[in-house]
Amino acid sequence: MARLDGRIALVSGGAGVLGQAICARLAADGARVAVADIDEAKGRALASSLGANGLFVALDVTSEDAWRAAMETVTKTWGPPDILVNNAGYLKPANIEQATLADWRKTMQINGDGTFLGCKFAVAAMKARPKSASSGVIINLSSAMGIRGRAPHPAYTASKAAIRLLTQSVAKHCAAEGYNIRAVAVMPGAIDSDMLRLNIPAGSTKDDYYAQVSGLNLVGRVGKPADVANAIAFLASDEAGFISGTDFPVDGGSTV
């Protein structure tokens, strides 16, 4: 029996590089996975690849109506979700002098509003689950940059720091109300992805940049999407039943 057999998961930003790894790992562990994304073509293709364990739901994470519709679709199809992974994110490198108010607002909308709305609708859906069931789990993607700000990323670092404390608030509320819902903030470091490659300085190569980044953590390499997906699969399972309201770094030791 796989450790997530019978569980229902929704992954926002499921069609992206990291989202694909998360969806695939949760499905491999037995969960039914709703691939939620604004990119319908990629999202449907991924959901189809998961077979009976996959479902595509259209989702603009900044829209309250879209979140409501996505949760309703999953609930009508399979039942209320047991797992939410707030994975959708946005990054545009621009220091405080370069960044515009529009940059700030878009980052906060996708990273901040999107995570807030996901938590809000997930709690409403999950609290109706049977009390005898395994705990519901909300996993919010923060970042190692939510602990230490970086000069090129004022908006991104601020949004990811906000997600950490939002996660604590949600976890404490659910505990106080007896909802049997855990919440955890996963803190990826430098993970091989389109988002990481946005940071490659002009005139530098990917290999040079990755070598530099690898030297900033204890493991000595850039992380893989599977590293984050493996951690999320663990946190979503009963094996992590005593973990809630905390940060869970997946950063190769870069924040030590």
Nearest 5°: phi and psi at 136? -70, 155
- Taking alpha carbons only, the member of 179, 175, 189, 177 closest to residue 244 is 175
Task: Tell me if residue 90 is catalytic.
Answer: no
Cβ–Cβ under 8 Å, residues 188 and 137: no
Q: Write down the residue that tokens 């997946």 correspond to.
A: 250
69, with CB counted inside 10 A (0-12, 13-18, 19+), is middle
Sign of the CA dihedral running 74, 75, 78, 81: positive
In angstroms, the CA 175 to CA 182 distance is: 8
In angstroms, the CA 228 to CA 143 distance is: 11
Nearby residues of 221 by Cβ (< 8 Å), 6 or more positions away? 214, 252
First to last CA, the chain: 36
Q: 90, 156, 179, 210: which one is catalytic? A: 156
For residue 145, how far is the Cα from the chain centroid? Answer: 15
Active-site residues, by number, are 156
